[in-house]
Amino acid sequence: MIAAIRQFFDNQLASPEQETSEHKVERLRLASAALMFELLKTDRHIDDRETRMLRQVLARTFAMDEQQLDDVIKLAEEEAAQAVSLYEFTSLMNETYDYEDKVLLVENLWRLALADDHLDKYEEQMIRKTADLLYVSHSDFIKTKLRVRDEQG
């Protein structure tokens, strides 16, 4: 999946030789979107509510237009059967994202995991591992989980 995502980024954005810091941030946001889809497939069942939440989170958080949403989701769906190294995503994020961006990503992962009103143990495990790789404190990991749970009532 990593190779396909990189190819998508290269097709959508400047090549690494021409990359500006703005383009790098956009590439990282697209990597975040793919990571979010990986969370959706963790419990082996992608619910329509989860897919709608994914589109809402991406549109709101990353200001992605409909075409970008369709492209990223299609790419992630096509590559869903392949293994993903969370480290490859999170290492890119650690280079550029500030702490608040990392916390927001963890919060959005909770939104996706709770969208179907069921928190699978593997979803929670993936969010915990992602938070650890992003160096998000355990306190913020818990706070984001509780905030999203309370929002969804």
CATH of the domain at 27: 1.10.3680.10
Which residue type, as a one-letter code, is found at position 96? T
Identify the pLDDT of residue 21: 67
Choose between 107 and 61: higher pLDDT.
107
How many domains does the chain divide into?
Answer: 1
Supply the pTM of this predicted model.
0.78
Lowest mean pLDDT among 88-92, 100-104, 136-140: 88-92
In this structure, which long-range contacts are made by residues 121-128, counting pairs with CB atoms below 8 Å and at least 24 apart in sequence?
122/42, 122/43, 123/39, 123/42, 123/43, 126/38, 126/39, 126/42, 126/86, 127/39
User: Per-residue pLDDT for 37 more than 90?
Assistant: no
How far does Cα 128 stand from its chain's mean position?
Answer: 13
Residue 59 pLDDT > 60: yes
Domain that holds residue 26: 2-151
Main-chain dihedrals φ then ψ at residue 46, nearest 5 degrees: -100, 110
**pLDDT reported for residue 14:** 40
